[in-house]
Structures are given as structure tokens and as C-alpha cells.
Amino acid sequence: MEDAKPKDWKELAIMFDKKEALNELKKISNLLVAEDVSMARSSNFRLGGSADVYIRPLTEDAFVAAIQMIRREAWPLTVLGRATNVLISDHGIRGVVCQLSPDLADIVVEGEIMTASAGARLSDIAARAAAESLGGLAFSSGIPGSVGGAVVMNAGAYTGKMEDVVVRTKYIDGEGEVRFLEKDDHDFHYRGSFFNDHKDHFVINSSFQLKSTPAKDIYDEMADLSLRRYQSQPLNYPSGGSAFKRPPGNYAGKLITDAGLKGFWNGHAGVSGKHAGFIIQDGKSSASEVLEVFRIVQERVYKQFDVMLYPEVKFIGDWQEELPQRDSE
Ligand SMILES: Cc1cc2nc3c(=O)[nH]c(=O)nc-3n(C[C@H](O)[C@H](O)[C@H](O)COP(=O)(O)OP(=O)(O)OC[C@H]3O[C@@H](n4cnc5c(N)ncnc54)[C@H](O)[C@@H]3O)c2cc1C
């Protein structure tokens, strides 16, 4: 018999019944549900059209219940943390967007182990660790993302990365089952993890092994990293952080600078003049205009240096344009 299941998200999106989804999701307690919510308000790029259905779980149980329902009904689903590493299409996101931050943000400390829910801000877990004289998370204090997004991306900066501290992750799998991943099973690699190969699995919370450290040392480290970040990054412009992954043996920012693109603008979007690794917008850009900058940079660097820059930023939603080339991840 022919398989009656839809084959891809576009097919799912066509079949998606917004009213039914809204009605059903509203039955789950501790779940905020809204329709046609502009994603520009809640993404760091300050860009993007509307989510058909937008939900925010207030508890882990509500998150699990929502994912199980969405799976059962085969509704298209996008899970976001703080949306600091994504560029969302001007045409919005079809189906259900589940944004975990800022609500799903419990932080529990037991001895030298901290467990934080997926929506907890990295700045909050770093501050809590410092307050408890626990070292290991200072590196994360200036990264604007959430725990879930950081585990997926193996986020890191200066003195550390998630793989140095994560010992356990609770997640929900593609069948809607709650499972645990132990330290060595996270398959952490540069800006990626197990979750990049399992895009239908979602982080519920993660536990970190920290180390008793004098609070003053931690605060000094955080202050130093914060200064370095402030001096080197265009923090006053909306962006998605580093636009491209580091190519082997090189730096994206250096190649972009050498290609003469540092400070280059294409309308309201461009390459930062402060740090060429950042693609930014001036507040009046569209997501398409930003995408065009990604494409121009990728093509120019490839043409000039024969090096392909792959985006670190993820392109989310209903893109009608062709996206810049990605690596296998
Ligand atoms: C100014 C600036 C500076 C930055 N500096 C750094 C830096 O120094 N180092 C660094 O590594 N990154 C940096 N970033 C990028 C970004 O903050 C990190 O990658 C961060 O960890 C992403 O977290 P998020 O919650 O914003 O994820 P999102 O952008 O919301 O999502 C990123 C990806 O993870 C997925 N995802 C999110 N939550 C979950 C979940 N619970 N389960 C499964 N999948 C999920 C999303 O679907 C998406 O594919 C920076 C960004 C900005 C804007």
C-alpha cells in the first residue's frame, strides 16, 4: 500500500489546520498560545514574519505535552531558545513555533552539579554559578543564547565551551519519548552536537559539572571576557552572532576582511566594520536583504580564496529565496 504520510514540511504546512492547532494546544495547562505572532520581536536579528501558531511552555511538563501533541497531529514544528543564532524569513514560519526562553528557565544547584532548563539564559546560569562559587561557566556569561540552543550548537567563547561542562541532557525524541543523554553521547564537535543529526529531538534540560572556585576569580574572568566582547563585537546592531563557521585553518572574519568586505553595506544590511565575522542590520532591513549579504560574502570569498564559508546562523521559516550553501550538518 502506498505510504499516506506527508513527505516533507511543505506538504505538512499545506495540510496544517491553524484553528484546530490553536484549539487543541489551548487545552494544555501552563502553555501560552497565540496566533500570528511577529518573530521580529523575539529574535536577535529583529527580523522575520509571523509564526502561524506561537507557544511558550511555562513548565517542562507543558513542553513535553505540547511536543507530544504536535508529533501526534503531524503539525510542522520549529523549536527556538532565544533566537540569537537564527535568521527568520520575512514570510514567517508555517506551523507551530515553540519558544522556550525566557519562561522555561529553572536552575537547580546540588553540590557541584547545576541543572538548568532549556530556556534558561546563559548569562543567568553563569551568574548563578558565580554566586555559588562554582567555576566552569564564566565563558558563557556573554553569549546571548539559552541552554538548549547552546547545547545544540556546542556554544563556546574564549575560555570554554558547552562540551567542557555538560554531563547529562534530558530530551524529548522524535517519538515524543523523554530520554537522557550521558556525557560522552552528546557527540559534541565544533558548533554542533548529537542534536544537529537528530533535528526532531529537543533539549528539555542539561546538567553541568562545575568546580568549587573562589567567587572573585569567577567575577574577574567574567569582567575580562565581557570587556573583550564589548571591544571586539558590534553589540549595538541586531545580528545572529558569527555569521559563518570557522573554515579549517583560517578565520571567516580574516577572509572577509581580506576580500575587502569589512564595513560593506548592501542597503540596510552589511558586514560589521568592527568585526567582519558579523553580518548586521541597521533596523530597517528585511531578512531577504540580510540573506543577500550572506550570499555576496560567500561568493566573493570563494571566488577570491577558493574557500567556502558555511553559515553558522540557521535560516528558519518559509524561505522562498535560495539559501546560501550549507555544510552537511
Ligand atoms: C551578539 C552575539 C554574540 C554571540 N556570541 C557567541 C559566542 O561567543 N559563542 C557562540 O558559540 N555563539 C555565540 N552567539 C550565537 C548564539 O548566541 C549561540 O549559538 C546560542 O547558543 C544559541 O542559543 P539560542 O537559545 O539563541 O538558540 P536559537 O537561536 O533559538 O536556536 C539555535 C538552533 O538551536 C535549535 N534549538 C534551540 N533550542 C533548542 C532545544 N531546546 N532543543 C533542540 N534544538 C533547539 C533551534 O531550532 C536552532 O536550530 C552569539 C550571538 C549573538 C547575537
**Sequence letter at residue 71:** R
Q: Which domain holds residue 306?
A: 234-316
**Phi, psi (degrees; rounded to nearest 5) at 211:** -140, 130
**Under 8 Å between Cβ of 218 and 130:** yes
**Residue 2 included in any domain:** no
Are both 123 and 205 inside the same structural domain? yes
Question: pLDDT tens digit string along 133-168?
Answer: 999 999 999 999 999 999 999 999 998 999 999 999
pLDDT confidence tier of residue 329, bands split at 50, 70 and 90:
low
- Domain assignment present for 325: no
Per-residue pLDDT tens for 190-199? 999 999 999 9
**Does residue 312 carry a catalytic annotation?**
yes
Find the CATH number of the domain harbouring 262: 3.90.78.10
Per-residue b or e along 226-265, where b marks 16 or more CB atoms closer than 10 Å to that residue's CB: eeeeeeebbeebbbbbbbbbbbeeeebbebbbebebbebe
Consecutive H or E run containing 222 = helix 215-232
CA of 23 to the centre of ligand 1 (A): 30
Which are the contacts of 69, defined by CB distance < 8 A and separation ≥ 6? 24, 25, 28
pTM: 0.95
- Return the C-alpha cell found at 73: 497531529
Given 67, 99, 131, the domain boundary residue is: 99
Instruction: Identify whether residues 207 and 286 lie together within a single domain.
Output: no
Answer yes or no: do 192 and 264 share one domain: no
307 CA to middle of ligand 1, Å? 25
AA identity, residue 211: K
**Which of 245, 272, 249 lies closest to 261 in space, CA to CA?**
272
Distance 218 CA to ligand 1 centre (A): 23
Quick check: is 191 catalytic?
yes
* Same-domain pairing of 86 and 29: yes
Report pLDDT digits (tens) over 269-278. Answer: 999 999 999 9
Asked if residue 84 lies in contact with residue 149, where contact means CB atoms within 8 angstroms, the answer is yes
Residue with the smallest CA separation from ligand 1 atom 36 is 149
